[in-house]
Structure 1
Amino acid sequence: MNERHFNLVTDPWIKVITDQSGTIKTVSLTDLFAHAQDYQQLGGETAAQDLAVLRLLLAILQTVYSRFNADDEAYDWLEVDEQTLQATLIDDFDSDDLVTTWSELYSAGHFSEAVSKYLQRYADRFDFFGPHAFYQVTAEEYDRFVPAKKRVATGSGTVAIKQINRTISESNNSPALFAPKTDEFKNQLDLPELVRWIIMYQNYTGVTDKTKIETDDKFSVGMGWLYRLNPVYARGNSLFETLMLNLVLVNKDDVDDEYHAQRPVWEFGETSNYIQERKRQIPPDNIAELYTAWSRLLHIEWDDDGVPTIFSAGIPPFNPANLFVEPMTTWRYDPKAKPPEFRPERLRKENMDVAMWRHFGRYVDTNREKKGDGHQPGVVTWLQQLQEKELIPTNKMVTLQAVAVVSDGNATSQSPAAEVTDDITIDAGVLFDTVGAIRWPVRIEDQINLTQDLGRFYWRFINRVSRIRGFDDTNLANAEGAKFYSRLNEPFKNWLASLRPNDDREGKIAQWQAQLRDLVIDSARAFSAAPSPRDISGTVVSGDKGERVDNIFLAFNSLVYSVNKRLKEG
């Protein structure tokens, strides 16, 4: 089987959507970078798989364009080795050169030959077979790092294809009840699809594996890095634009404006170099290394019929605190840590139905005056840089896309339970408005807070009607509240997309508030349209002023009063 070859540089394996009708084409890395401007977007099996592949593509671009400009010439302050194409800083780093490279590439509308040259140089690291198999190690390397009882010859420590395939995510102990494949075919994949799932598995690994590499200090097997985030990225009008908008060549969180050499996993040379680095549990200081970080040491054995057996061993995770080199996540401030710190947020099962716009302040800084407890995603800061430098138009519509894999919440498995996608589209001039207290991000956040207040009023109305009907639980209020927010999603996102920097702000806000009031009142009317005799006659309730009769009409009038009062307050 060592004579087999499947090279990601030249063999088709990436699914792309080529037109508005959704036509799928499978392309190689070389083809993708040469024609990214002709493709709409990635088109793999799941949105999360596409994000994992996107980050691999970005790791390649980060590496190339941190060394070469748009004319494929090395920056003056670097010395690039002709053999390895790796760079050494020899003079004062000038981040403006990187911004210029980005601008010239974006204006050209396509990537330069340097990407193809780089891929050809490292083609042996992108072959799925052989001594440097992509995202894998040889049997000898695997045996060197794992305990003797877990070596390849023992046949232990394997992970099934049906578990790596995240449309199934089935372990041998927990069958997937609604899998898209029957048992006979759950462990069958063609080679391009297996490659895509391997990339995703390294990013979204759970913690069911029992095999770990040997280290001096004990460690707990960690989740894949991307699985630990609440990911967000910028979606463009083409695959080229998506890649460019997320190509963060200058990290504003690096206050010292230092040059951090990009070092994807394949540039570590021998696998032992990378594993020794990971044993130290030091977080990456560059995006390319972070985007290609392994969560597992993988080795694949192939039988004579080409059927793979996948061996997997956990690698020590790195500390995520204040790891702002990661641009694609929202952050959670922990004031109780010593010292206080930021950690990547994760979407959990209990709040996965909450729309992205309701957490607008997590994606964009809405309170610049209050320092310490807020940090917007790095990709948003990068887009802000581009807009401030007029490298993207002020009136450009920016789409922030969220893609999260939500775990089952079981600490011993963290198996994928659901995939959640959402987006918001907004004018760049609105998103990055800086006009004092009346700037749009602040006003938008105010309207979101108002909207959620009215959502709570509506929930209380439903819950009050439930008590009138003799129910003691909040199940009906929760269900109707979820439906209400579902009805809100499209109107609010449309309102958000309609905003412009030069709008009459009070007029646009009044427009939303009028629409919001109608949505609340109409929803309440629809819910109480056919009242039962008990709804009308009501029930006796106790309060601070003694007993009184409560019915659906009183509840409705109370809701209208609360809504009008809150809207008047603004």
Structure 2
Amino acid sequence: MAEKQFNLTTDPWIKVISKESNQEQTVSLITLFENADKYRALGGEIRAQDLAILRFLLAILTTVYSRFDADDEPYEWLTIDQQTLRDVGGLNVDDKGKVKKALLHTWEQLYDSGKFTEIVTTYLKRYADRFDLFGEQPFYQVTENEYNQVVPKKKQISGEKGPGTVAVKQINRQVSESGNTPALFSPKSDDFKNDIQLDELVRWLVTYQNYTGVTDKTKIDMPDKFSTSSGWLYKLNPVFADGNDLFQTLMLNLILIGDDQPYALQRPVWEESIPAYVDQRKKQQMPNNLAELYTTWSRLLHINWSDDGIPTIFSAGLPMFESEDAFIEPMTLWRYDKKTSRFRPAVKTLRSLGMAMWRNFGEYVKIESTSDQDQQHEPGLVHWLRTLRDKDLISEDTLLTLASVTLISDGNATSQAPVAEVYDDMRINADVLFDEDPDAAQRWPDRIAEMITLTQKIGSDYWQFAANVARIRNLDYRPFANKMSATFYDGLNAPFKDWLSNLSNQEDRDKKSNLWKDELEQYVLNAAKEVVQSSSPRDMAGFIDMAGIIDKNHGLVNIFTVSNRLRHRVQVDLDVKKG
């Protein structure tokens, strides 16, 4: 396979959706960056793959535009080598404010122009050899010699033979089948699960490094033992901005300045030698730049190709840095751990599978009126969008779409195989999301959080109603109520997201809040009405509550009495005035 070539810079491998035809296309890196405004979005096999590819593309853009401005000129605080396009003089930053201003000006010029500049293509051509799937330093892989140098002797490989292989069907996250457990609902039959085209293989290579499970038996050789880690993106509950087209999506997520430091030298993995990269990973230090973070490997992969083009993939685990207080990561929600007084990425699990983004609104944007502000940490991506709005780089009427895609594992500590993918989003006006009214009662984020708290209180009322219905029917009340509650919230998703997207700073907060209260009241009462209308004679007859579980006065309990209890509870919680 030495003569085989597939270069990501010029060969098509990224799936996109064309704005003109609304059809899927496959394009190269250079074509994508030169025509990003002509594509609606990425269009890979699964949305989690699109997120992994998005971060890969952002690593390229962050690297380029942290070195060159929108006129393709190097920043004055850098000494750029014209061959490598890297800084060789060491970072010389005296005026941090000046640096921040220059980077934001670069972002503004690019955003206003609607296109990326020639320097991106120049950079890709300069590093084309590192984007070659079959090159001397193959893309996202190591050579056989490099692999054997870092794994234990008994794990070394020779040609197509050796331990520690991972099948194509396992790297393909639509299948995710290991050698021990067959995937029952695979989109491919058994005979074709390991068949793959080169462009698809590249997409899954990038994705697998981000969403790796922990079934691998081979690890690099280390003085101290370490546990095989899952992929970094697998550990997050991601949030990113979804634009009107691919160019806008890339720009809104292109973070050129950090929270704590205005500038960092970017080190994407393809600019590092493999020995240097492995040595750095052995230290398990958190990256200090986004390009390195976005291109973090969870595995050293080596691919041997047979004469008929069949890949044999060898995999060795790398030590992963800790995720606690890893605020360099901008695309995640954070959860405060009271035991350690530190923040951890808020991982979505099967238990929280059905919880929509809007119900955790306070985790996406800081709520000033809460008493536990020290236990909140706004995602870096949202902080970046706040900066863009504060500097008037995006207009006040920009309708932002915060999106999330999560690949959820089975929760098994020895496999962490993906079992579900969840996509969700919420649209909100930029001035609403970043409203800074000095009166907390009038500040939109605080008011929205108040409405969500109220909605969840009504949701609890409905859950109790459902539990009472189950008791009347002599059923196990918890699973019955949980199922009805899930349906209740599913029906609320569309109306709440619609209410959220129609908020503006020019409208009266009380009026808009009352509109939601009215809609919520009608929704919950209609939901209960449907249950009453489908009730059975047993529901209507009910029983005398001698145990006082529902009625403390030990009276008659039936579908009508529990419905009336719900109506009363809703009126109290919504503070509905009679008449």
The TM-score with structure 2 as length reference comes to: 0.96
Contact 1:79 1:90 in 2 (8 A): no
Aligned residue number for residue 395 of structure 2 = 393
Decide which of 489, 501, 508 is 1:504's aligned counterpart.
508
Matched residue type, 1:244: M
Deviation at 1:537, TM superposition (A): 1.8
Deviation at 1:547, TM superposition (A): 2.7
Aligned residue number for residue 367 of structure 1 = 368
Q: Distance in 2 between matches of 1:82 and 1:188?
A: 42
Deviation at 1:108, TM superposition (A): 0.7
Structure 1 pair 20–477 and aligned structure 2 pair: CA distance change class (3 A): farther
Deviation at 1:569, TM superposition (A): 7.8
Aligned residue number for residue 522 of structure 1 = 526
Contact 1:146 1:212 in 2 (8 A): yes
Aligned residue number for residue 208 of structure 1 = 215
Q: Distance in 1 between matches of 2:41 and 2:535?
A: 50
Aligned residue number for residue 563 of structure 2 = 556
Aligned residue number for residue 60 of structure 1 = 60
Structural mapping, 1:108-257, within 5 Å: 108-153=113-158, 154-252=161-259, 254=260, 257=261
Structure 1 position 347 matched with structure 2 position 348? yes
Matched residue type, 1:453: K
Deviation at 1:21, TM superposition (A): 5.6
Structural mapping, 1:268-279, within 5 Å: 268=272, 270-279=273-282
Contact 2:369 2:446 in 1 (8 A): no
Q: Distance in 2 between matches of 1:307 and 1:562?
A: 65
Q: Distance in 1 between matches of 2:554 and 2:431?
A: 55
Structure 1 pair 20–404 and aligned structure 2 pair: CA distance change class (3 A): farther
Q: Secondary structure at the match of 2:196?
A: coil
RMSD, aligned CA: 1.3
Deviation at 1:91, TM superposition (A): 3.9
Aligned residue number for residue 359 of structure 2 = 358
Aligned residue number for residue 433 of structure 2 = 431
Q: Distance in 2 between matches of 1:464 and 1:368?
A: 35
Aligned residue number for residue 565 of structure 1 = 572
Aligned residue number for residue 312 of structure 1 = 315
Q: Distance in 2 between matches of 1:259 and 1:534?
A: 69
Contact 2:367 2:373 in 1 (8 A): no
Q: Distance in 1 between matches of 2:416 and 2:134?
A: 30
Matched residue type, 2:326: L
Matched residue type, 1:402: S
Q: What are the Cα deviations for residues 391-417 of structure 1, in whole angstroms up to 9, with x where unaligned?
A: 100010000010000000101000001
Aligned residue number for residue 379 of structure 1 = 381
Q: Distance in 1 between matches of 2:485 and 2:552?
A: 29
Aligned length: 564
Deviation at 1:472, TM superposition (A): 3.2
Deviation at 1:205, TM superposition (A): 0.1
Q: Distance in 1 between matches of 2:93 and 2:430?
A: 35
Deviation at 1:217, TM superposition (A): 1.0
Aligned residue number for residue 475 of structure 1 = 479
Q: Secondary structure at the match of 1:206?
A: coil
Q: Distance in 2 between matches of 1:545 and 1:476?
A: 23
Q: Distance in 1 between matches of 2:519 and 2:57?
A: 42
Contact 2:348 2:406 in 1 (8 A): yes
Aligned residue number for residue 299 of structure 1 = 302
Matched residue type, 2:192: F
Aligned residue number for residue 415 of structure 1 = 417
Deviation at 1:132, TM superposition (A): 0.7
Q: Secondary structure at the match of 2:202?
A: helix
Structure 1 pair 75–545 and aligned structure 2 pair: CA distance change class (3 A): closer
Contact 1:3 1:130 in 2 (8 A): no
Structure 1 position 95 matched with structure 2 position 97? no
Q: Distance in 2 between matches of 1:53 and 1:304?
A: 30
| Structure 1 stretch displaced more, 472-481 or 277-286 | 472-481
Structure 1 position 455 matched with structure 2 position 462? no
Deviation at 1:551, TM superposition (A): 1.0
Deviation at 1:90, TM superposition (A): 2.6
Q: Distance in 1 between matches of 2:377 and 2:101?
A: 24
Contact 2:151 2:218 in 1 (8 A): yes
Gaps of 5+ in 2: none
Contact 1:9 1:28 in 2 (8 A): yes
Deviation at 1:20, TM superposition (A): 6.8
Q: What are the Cα deviations for residues 285-309 of structure 1, in whole angstroms up to 9, with x where unaligned?
A: 0000000000000000000001000
Q: Distance in 2 between matches of 1:51 and 1:8?
A: 18
Q: Secondary structure at the match of 2:544?
A: strand
Aligned residue number for residue 284 of structure 2 = 281
Q: Distance in 1 between matches of 2:17 and 2:365?
A: 30
| Structure 1 stretch displaced more, 89-98 or 518-527 | 89-98
Structure 1 position 105 matched with structure 2 position 110? yes
Structure 1 pair 518–279 and aligned structure 2 pair: CA distance change class (3 A): same
Deviation at 1:545, TM superposition (A): 4.9
Q: Distance in 2 between matches of 1:272 and 1:510?
A: 62
Contact 2:239 2:404 in 1 (8 A): yes
Q: What are the Cα deviations for residues 440-479 of structure 1, in whole angstroms up to 9, with x where unaligned?
A: 0000000001001101101110110110111233222111
Deviation at 1:320, TM superposition (A): 1.1
Contact 1:157 1:209 in 2 (8 A): yes
Aligned residue number for residue 331 of structure 2 = 328
Structure 1 pair 532–239 and aligned structure 2 pair: CA distance change class (3 A): same
Contact 1:150 1:211 in 2 (8 A): yes
Q: Distance in 1 between matches of 2:559 and 2:576?
A: 26
Q: Distance in 1 between matches of 2:122 and 2:68?
A: 11
Deviation at 1:22, TM superposition (A): 3.2
Deviation at 1:367, TM superposition (A): 2.4
Structure 1 pair 47–545 and aligned structure 2 pair: CA distance change class (3 A): closer
Aligned residue number for residue 83 of structure 1 = 83
Deviation at 1:193, TM superposition (A): 0.3
Q: Distance in 2 between matches of 1:473 and 1:511?
A: 33
Matched residue type, 1:54: L
Contact 1:286 1:325 in 2 (8 A): yes
Deviation at 1:546, TM superposition (A): 5.3
Contact 1:19 1:39 in 2 (8 A): yes
Q: Distance in 1 between matches of 2:378 and 2:534?
A: 47
Contact 2:468 2:477 in 1 (8 A): no
Structure 1 pair 355–144 and aligned structure 2 pair: CA distance change class (3 A): same
Aligned residue number for residue 49 of structure 2 = 49
Aligned residue number for residue 485 of structure 1 = 489
Q: Distance in 2 between matches of 1:313 and 1:482?
A: 41
Q: Distance in 2 between matches of 1:350 and 1:80?
A: 50
Contact 2:170 2:178 in 1 (8 A): yes
Q: Distance in 2 between matches of 1:479 and 1:352?
A: 13
Contact 1:230 1:330 in 2 (8 A): yes
